[in-house]
Amino acid sequence: MKKETLTTNVYFGALKTSMTAINAALYVVFGGFTNLGIVVYGVRFWPAVIVPAVFAVLFGPMVGGVGAAIGIFLADVIYGHGNALLSLIVGVPANFMAFYIMGYVQRKFSWKKYCILAFAGLAAGSVYIGISLWAFTQFFISYLGSNWGIVLGLSAALWTFVSEIPFLIIVVPIVVKASHHASPELLSGNSVIEDG
């Protein structure tokens, strides 16, 4: 392996690790500031989804997914429901899945591709939340109660999707464009940010 390739790999590995940690920290902090106490079917109204979405677009699937998973776990335990097991079974995998999928837009970026992946990622994460909340209540008693019906689980999925998609479709593009204009190398190697 050439020296410059090794140096480049170490640099990008350190950059992605750092960005994952910053993603997680900002997710927790921004989540705390935007936590309005609105909870429907056990799921918070969560504008903070913009943080890992932006990191996923700018730095790729692993940075978006892992940062979101760590961030939601800390947020759940620190000022959320406080149930670490519930977070590990429901929130952590759902956040990883949703933002990992969104991160695929980093390659050959376009707004059309971003919107498709934002819908797909959030849909996958939301359905996972609904099904896993239902399953969790079949085996564990929590603040959610016990033995939910599948309709409540799917209602939680619908609430998650409907309450978060506007932030992903409206706010994330603005932040990504501003980030790209401030530092064009953030999407280097990708096509120029297109409006289509």
Average pLDDT over residues 114-124: 96
pLDDT at 130 over 90: yes
Report pLDDT for 68: 98
HSE-CB of 49 using CA atoms within 13 angstroms? 33
pLDDT at 188 over 80: no
CA gap 118, 170 in Å, rounded: 11
- The DSSP call for residue 43 is E
Report pLDDT for 18: 95
* Ordered domains of the chain (ranges, CATH): 3-187 (1.10.1760.20)
Q: How far is CA 144 from CA 137, 162, 165, in A?
A: 7, 20, 24
pLDDT in tens, 38-68: 999 889 999 999 999 999 999 999 999 999 9
Average pLDDT over residues 109-116: 90
Helices (H), the chain: 3-34, 50-59, 61-78, 84-86, 92-103, 111-139, 150-166, 172-182
Segment among 75-79, 139-143, 183-187 with least mean pLDDT: 139-143
Average pLDDT over residues 66-82: 96
pLDDT in tens, 1-51: 555 565 556 666 888 999 999 999 999 999 999 999 999 988 999 999 999
CA gap 35, 9 in Å, rounded: 38
Output the CA torsion sign for 177, 183, 187, 188: positive
Provide the pLDDT confidence category of residue 192 given band limits of 50, 70 and 90.
Answer: very low
Provide the pLDDT confidence category of residue 108 given band limits of 50, 70 and 90.
Answer: confident
Q: Is 185 exposed, middle or buried (0-12, 13-18, 19+ CB in 10 A)?
A: exposed
- What is the pLDDT of the chain when averaged over all its residues? 87
pLDDT at 196 over 50: no
